[in-house]
Chains A and B, each alone.
Chain A
Amino acid sequence: MKLTEQQLDALKELGNIGASHAASSLSVMLSSAVDMTVPEVELVDISDLAEIFRDEIAALVIFEIQGEIAQGGYLALFMPRESAIRLTNTMLGMTEMDREITEMDESALLEVGNIMMSQFLDATATLLNIVMLPSPPDVAIDMAHAMLQTVIAQVASDINKVILFRTELLCSEHEVNGSILLLPRPPMLQEVLSLLEKLMSGGI
C-alpha cells in the first residue's frame, strides 16, 4: 500500500475538517479554548507501532465506523492518563489529581468521546456525501500500545502497514490533551480516497 502526496493531502484535509468539529465540541464541553495541531497522516508498519505508543497508561475510547461503507474501520480518542483524570475533574468540578482512575472517569470519557467522534464522523461524512455513524463506544484504560495493537489486529489481518491519522487536541487552561486516531480498513480507505478524488476533480 502506497499513497501519493496528493492522496495524503486530501486525507489530511478531510481529517482536519472532522477534527476541528470534534475540537469545537470539546471546547464547548470544557467551556474553554481547545487548540488542535495540523493532522498527521502516516503509514505505520505494525512492527514500528511500539515506537509511537509505548506501555504508559492511557485511555482509549473506540468506535467502529458503521454506515454505508462495509467494514469501515475504527475511530478512537486517545488520552494520556493524567489528561483523562483532568478531563473528569474539569467536567465534575473536582481537583484531586492523585487518585485512581475510576468508573466515573470511564463514563466521562465515553460521553466526551461519543460527542466528539459523532461530530468528527458527521463532518467528514457530510463532506464525502455518505453516511458514517459511530457504533456504541467502548473504553479501556490500559497500556497505550496494548490497546492500539488490539484495535489494529482487527484491521491488519491482510496488511502490514496501517494508515494512522492523528490530530492532537490541547486545552491549555485545563491541561487536557488527546489525539484522534482513525484506523480505516483497506476497503474504507479505498472508498474514501476515491470519493475525495471525485470531490477534487469536481472543482470543489
Chain B
Amino acid sequence: MTSIGLGSCVAVILYDPRNRIGAVAHVMLPESGGKCDRPGKYADTAIPLLMNEMIQNGSVRRSLVAKIAGGSSMFQNFSGNLNIGDRNVAAIRQILESFGIPLVAEDTGGTVGRSIQFFPLEGGGVRVRRADGTCTEI
C-alpha cells in the first residue's frame, strides 16, 4: 500500500500483527466538525473508520498498533494560517490514545514532504521516502 506526496497530510497506518491485516488513511485535516461525507479526510472520522474495517476483517482492537508519517510544514512564511501538519499529528495522537491504540512508530513534522509504502504481509514495515532523498523504515 502506498501514499504519495504527504505534506501537511498524515498517513495513519493501523496494523494487526496477529493476522497481518493493515489499513491506511490519508488524513488531511484534524476535525470533521460533524461532516461525514468523507470520513478518510479528517483525523476524528478516519481512525474509527479504519478500526471498524479491520475489526470487520477479523482483528480485535487490543491487538492493533499504529504508525504515522507526514505532517510537515512546508511554507514557513504562511504560519499565520495555523500549522495544519502539527495540528493533524496532535489530533491523531490524541485520538489513538483515546482508543487505546499504541503509536509504535512515527516520522512526522519537519519541513519536507514524504511518500510511504506499507507492507502489511511482510511484518507491517513502513518505508518512508522524504523529498530530500533520504529514506527510513519505521
Residues of B within 8 A of A64 (CB): 78, 81
Q: CA A99 – CA B6 in complex, angstroms? A: 25
Contact for B75 among A54, A138, A144, A156, CB less than 8 A: A138
> In the complex, which of the residues B7, B41, B75 contacts A160, with contact meaning CB atoms closer than 8 Å?
B41
Please determine whether A55 and B8 come into contact, CB atoms closer than 8 angstroms. no
- The answer to whether B84 and A150 touch across the interface, beta carbons within 8 angstroms, is yes
Of B53-61, B95-103, B112-120, the one with at least 4 CB within 8 A of chain A: B112-120
Q: Is the interface of A mostly helix, strand, loop or mixed?
A: mixed
A54 in complex: contacting residue of B5, B7, B29, B74, CB < 8 Å:
B5
* Interface check A145, CB cutoff 8 A: yes
Residue with the greatest number of chain A CB neighbours at <10 A, chosen from B4, B29, B81: B4
A-B CB contacts (within 8 Å), total count: 89
Task: Please list the residues of chain A having a beta carbon within 8 angstroms of any beta carbon in chain B.
Answer: 46, 50, 53-55, 57, 62, 64, 136-138, 140, 142-154, 156-158, 160
Sample (26) of A-B pairs whose CB atoms are under 8 Å apart: A46-B28, A53-B5, A57-B131, A62-B75, A138-B77, A138-B78, A142-B7, A143-B115, A145-B5, A146-B9, A146-B113, A147-B74, A148-B5, A148-B7, A149-B8, A150-B9, A150-B74, A150-B75, A150-B84, A152-B28, A153-B28, A153-B29, A154-B81, A157-B33, A160-B38, A160-B41
